[in-house]
Chain A
């Protein structure tokens, strides 16, 4: 067994080196596919995190005009609280809203222009949490009815719906692209290994004649495919590691205040997915290539 493994690995490395241009091409396309796969996972998991963050936040947010008398605000809050669908109502003052906004900017590392202008452009708001998400009843109507107080009403459901749509579209497009790139990678791996097999046609013939078992003929090439997958996965992970910082910032920017990025969970999933996909593609490609040579 040890002899067998050592033999297979040695021959696989020899094969990679002899056939290095094609091996390089296979590895590069492998990296492209794995990057696409990783990118898809990162974006989708970012959107997913954003989605659950938005969902657990308030359900309806009403932005108020500036300078509305507090008693009118209190009256509206009382009116909304009395509705059967509502579980909680909170009131955010202009100052509070500004402070929150500034905190978010700091978290993103962006410049705070409100300090320059000296004014507060952010409206106060009434935040309504529903008993059951999605069951609005008359909440929106009541808020909108109070003319002169409420400037605009945001239903979070709209945001959620939009996010779900984006997620689904991205997932579909991503999967289609992934399948196409995956097939290309498979094709290139199959070709690379086929060239390696052809380069060794004489050796394979001699091996068959002297009584080498199929495993001894097949596994060096399977290992060659596996190495292409492993090297591709390693390169992809290095690239992802270098890009991790910018990607975290980017995803934070996409889903506003949600601090998603490279947490450990996502990191482990990525490593598993990239290595698994690389090894699988390399192995399957090589297997397909060698199969036709052995069925005789």
Chain B
């Protein structure tokens, strides 16, 4: 009779039902490239909706691979990657574009089209997903206001500062009202002051309810913010806690 009072034995947790409502779940994910390189090893990660997570680690630790798995540029060798409850490994090809509209992605090199204005660059994401212009226009103006670029909407990327270019990219990432923003070294090309500006913007977006996952080398920013930090090393999660860039003892 006493057995029933004992706590259940501790076993490796499968993704809990809650996880299905999390923005992001990685369960026992390993990634081995065809050339034999093990980029990720048994990665477990749950990012609840509305969380703000830094992904840190040296170059080659697997950050880029992890991001590629999340946007389904690659498929995990083993394990499950769930984005907004959807298992990416079993997502039919036709569904992939729909899934990508639930992710806003921001890169270090901005990936803006030089021949288009700020407004056109942002609208492009709606145009190529079949949104009629009349519907797209108010959305574009709203996200431009969110990132504070209403005044520069008619300029081309070459006329903008790096920070403004990155804000354009963030605006573009926001047009589909995504579940999660994935930012891969968004401040890597920017000077410290502008980096803070971008970070403030991502924090504001996070406060409005969007999950943010930011891969970065920027130790100063990570340490100052005291947010959740997931550290990767040689493909493994070596640390997952609220704290700074470096391990604190």
Contacts and interface: CB of A to CB of B under 8 A. Distances in A.
A4 B133 CA distance: 11
Contacts of A3: 127, 130-133
A210 B130 contact: no
A142 interface: no
Contacts of B113: 202-203, 206
Contacts of B94: 213-214
Interface in B105-123: 105, 111, 113
A68 interface: no
Given A202-B111, A202-B113, A203-B113, A209 B130 contact: no
11 contacts: A4-B130, A203-B113, A205-B111, A208-B97, A209-B100, A210-B101, A210-B128, A211-B97, A211-B100, A211-B176, A212-B128
Contacts of A207: 128
B96 to A, nearest CB: 8
B130 A211 contact: no
A216 B193 CA distance: 39
A209 B99 CA distance: 10
Which 9 A/B pairs are nearest by Cβ-Cβ distance?
A211-B101, A211-B100, A212-B128, A210-B125, A213-B97, A211-B97, A207-B128, A216-B128, A3-B132
Interface in B171-198: 172, 175-176
Interface residues on chain A, size class: 10 to 19
A202 B105 CA distance: 15
A7 interface: yes
Contacts of B71: 209
A211 B132 contact: no
A213 B129 contact: yes
B105 A209 contact: yes
Interface string A208-243: 111111101100000000000000000000000000
Nearest to A1: B130
Nearest to B135: A3
Contact of A208 (B100, B133, B175): B100
B3 interface: no
A213 B111 CA distance: 19
A206 B111 CA distance: 7
A210 B172 contact: yes
A203 B114 CA distance: 10
A212 B172 CA distance: 13
A212 to B, nearest CB: 4
Given A4-B130, A211-B129, 11 more contacts: A3-B130, A203-B113, A206-B111, A208-B97, A209-B71, A209-B100, A210-B125, A211-B100, A211-B101, A212-B97, A216-B129
Interface in A244-267: none
Contacts of A211: 97-101, 103, 125, 129, 176
A203 B120 CA distance: 13
Interface in B230-247: none
Contacts of A217: 128
A202 B130 CA distance: 19
B199 to A, nearest CB: 22
A237 B128 CA distance: 36
A3 B134 CA distance: 11
Contacts of B130: 3-4, 213, 216
A7 B128 contact: yes
